[in-house]
Amino acid sequence: MTLSVLSLIPLPQTIQEAIRAVDPSVALTMAPGWFDGEIRETWPAFTTERYLRAGSSGQGTRAERDALLAEAQVLVIGFPFPLDVRARAPKIEWVHQRPAGASNLRRGDLWDSGVVVTSSRGHAHNLPIAEYVLAGILHFAKGLQVAEIERAGQRFQAAAYEPVQLAGKTVCVVGAGGIGREVGRLCAAAGMRVVGTRRDPAPPSEGFSEIRGAGGLLHLLAESDFVAVCCQWTPETEHLIGREAFAAMKEGAVLVNIARGEIVDEEALVAALAAGKLRGAALDVYVGEFDHAPDPRLWGDERVLLTPHISAASDVGSHRGADLFVENLRRYVAGAPLRNVIDWPRGY
């Protein structure tokens, strides 16, 4: 009996060989880029211009692509992806998506569809993302945003930098999971006191002096000089960093968000900046980032560092999502539980 595995993303040759070696029944079909034309027609142009290869328009006919999906029992996808996978893949039993965040799937018909979906949560580019957080912290701690103002005016304002030392300062990691733990480790190595939150309290470890449950967030914000948002975007975390959270933060705090823009209430962020509450905000994400440009009020504020979701980018490949897929394929063939199955009510 054949187990049909279809990948819509490129996979290294070593991974392809590992997939085929799992079991003689595995038949792997590689189809990266085949659906790019459909994706361009169904996703916002802002998204496709950013994530798809320039000029790619897909391969095969619609009938040929339908045939690929119709036979697939296991599917590997990236972002963006065909929105109607579930409707066109009647035999599908399991989908693995390369991104770590489940919120990527909200647009398509896989969300809460009855198909088992796994993510690469905890196996993505944790170290580069953590380095980005530390860079964002340092950018504002050392007042480097002033340099751009000086460049425009061609006049130095040394007193405006007001640099602060990281050692001895407190950082709150909102979402002490795989990425958050790496953020905590790097910040602790820089001499910072690291505290954090997650859904449920956990023993301190890996540089953290304290990890509270979600209910402890406001208490930790009140004693933190820096705040790193690393949690999943779920119904529970949408606008988690809102007016109440900003009010609880220390004067002159710095916010870094590498998770999803929707976790931060941007109206509350704009208000906090207008009130002079924050020293700065480094945002690798923003509300509606897959559809449109950032809010002009944020992009026009020199206290806001905005980047296009590049915190995971690196010259060194560290994404282990394909390795997780191979491990899960072994489990699937053996009838064992899969790792990282998305819990739809929780949202990750």
Which amino acids are annotated catalytic?
260, 289, 309
Residue 139 CA: distances (Å) to CA of 189, 201, 238, 302? 17, 31, 26, 12
Q: Give CA–CA dist 152/154, Å, rounded.
A: 6
Strand order in the sheet with 170-174: 208-212, 193-197, 170-174, 226-229, 253-257, 278-283, 304-306
Strands 304-306 and 253-257, sheet pairing = unpaired
Structure tokens at 221: 């914000």
Q: Give CA–CA dist 1/328, Å, rounded.
A: 19
- If one counts every other C-beta atom within 10 angstroms of the C-beta of residue 283, the result is 25
Q: Give CA–CA dist 196/148, Å, rounded.
A: 32
Q: Give CA–CA dist 100/129, Å, rounded.
A: 12
